[in-house]
């Protein structure tokens, strides 16, 4: 409910009336008194309005967190069976190498002036000569010990060569049977020609008559300066043992007879377990050519007739 507002004019009238009442009640004789007249101009006073409580609805935002059921995915880890191989170390026995001292090669002295050759036999080319009392190391031998492969001691660049065993003396007083000398290939230092001037023998054949085998081939034409005949290496049977023998067909030491059909007779006895065999080279001063295997007749076939070439 709203109260009536009092204006400023009402207040002024009340004030004037109050002053007139106090003036008439005074006990003193009336004196001519100038009574001022108070003229109060009307003032409009604005009273503050009476505040009436007005219920104004207020809105307060209230956030209420209502938990919602959110399904969290559950991860189920399924264990995978992984088989890890287990390595069992088997202890191995580590052998400590035993240092075996290699015995020094036996040393021999040359007895007489000797030719040192490219192979174990007089059929091979000459390499160099050895003077008497020269010392050489023995590095090999052929199977029967009749030839020794010698090398120069105390020299960096080696030049081994073959010397007949009967031409040397072992410095310690021993021989081939008292030393551990290795058996080596007779062609270990065989020198092959690099000139390629001549070819190996052609038309090679053989015929046996008892314990003798005759080998035939067509002559290889060579110059007189180059001509050193032919080289035959044969593994034949003698006294029931297979032995190594070499032959150097060199007809009368002249190239003039090196024409047409050539031949060489080689002894070969029965009674060996290993079969006999042989091969032939052309030999000239620069070395030997490649070889040709000789067809070797068995001892049980003494009547074999070879085909003999008539032309070179």
Condensed to tens digits (0 to 9), the pLDDT of residues 16-36 reads 444 444 444 444 444 454 554
> How far is it, in rounded angstroms, from Cα 228 to Cα 195?
15
> How far is it, in rounded angstroms, from Cα 47 to Cα 112?
165
Nearest alpha carbon to residue 286 among 225, 242, 232: 225
pTM listed for this prediction: 0.63
Residues 6+ apart with CB under 8 A from 238: 267, 268, 269
Is 107-170 assigned to CATH 1.10.238?
A: no
What CATH superfamily classification does 202-294 receive?
A: Immunoglobulins (2.60.40.10)
What is the structure's pLDDT at 88? 65
Q: What is the pLDDT of residues 110-121, one digit of tens each?
A: 999 999 999 999
Residues 6+ apart with CB under 8 A from 194: 286, 287
Phi and psi at residue 283, to the nearest 5°: -120, 125
Considering 13-17, 48-52, 63-67, 283-287, the range whose residues carry the highest mean pLDDT is 283-287
Token pair, residue 163, equals 């010397």
> How far is it, in rounded angstroms, from Cα 229 to Cα 264?
12
Q: Any idea where the domains of the chain sit in the sequence?
A: 107-170, 202-294
Q: Give 147's strand partners.
A: 164
């Amino acid at each position: 409910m709203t109260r009536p507002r009092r204006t400023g004019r009402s207040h002024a009238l009340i004030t004037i009336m109050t002053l007139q009442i106090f003036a008439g009640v005074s006990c003193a004789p009336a004196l001519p008194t100038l009574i001022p007249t108070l003229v109060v101009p009307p003032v409009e006073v604005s009273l503050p309005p009476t505040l009436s409580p007005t219920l104004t609805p207020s809105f307060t935002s209230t956030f209420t967190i209502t938990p919602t059921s959110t399904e969290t995915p559950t991860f189920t880890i399924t264990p995978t069976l992984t088989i890890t191989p287990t390595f069992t170390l088997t202890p191995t026995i580590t052998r400590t190498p035993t240092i075996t001292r290699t015995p020094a090669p036996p040393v021999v002295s040359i007895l007489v002036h000797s030719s040192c050759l490219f192979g174990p036999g007089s059929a091979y080319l000459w390499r160099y000569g050895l003077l008497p009392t020269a010392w050489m190391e023995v590095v090999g031998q052929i199977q029967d010990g009749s030839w020794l492969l010698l090398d120069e001691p105390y020299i960096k660049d080696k030049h081994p060569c073959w010397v007949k065993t009967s031409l040397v003396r072992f410095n310690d007083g021993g021989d081939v049977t008292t030393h551990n000398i290795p058996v080596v290939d007779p062609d270990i230092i065989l020198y092959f020609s690099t000139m390629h001037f001549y070819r190996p023998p052609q038309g090679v054949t053989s015929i046996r008559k008892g314990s003798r085998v005759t080998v035939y081939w067509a002559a290889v034409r060579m110059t007189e300066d180059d001509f050193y005949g032919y080289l035959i290496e044969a593994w034949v049977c003698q006294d029931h043992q297979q032995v190594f023998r070499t032959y150097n067909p060199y007809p009368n030491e002249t190239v003039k007879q090196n024409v047409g059909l050539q031949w060489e007779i080689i002894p070969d006895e029965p009674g060996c377990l290993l079969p006999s065999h042989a091969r032939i080279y052309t030999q000239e001063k620069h070395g030997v050519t490649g070889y040709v295997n000789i067809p070797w007749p068995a001892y049980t076939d003494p009547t074999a007739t070879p085909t003999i070439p008539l032309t070179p």
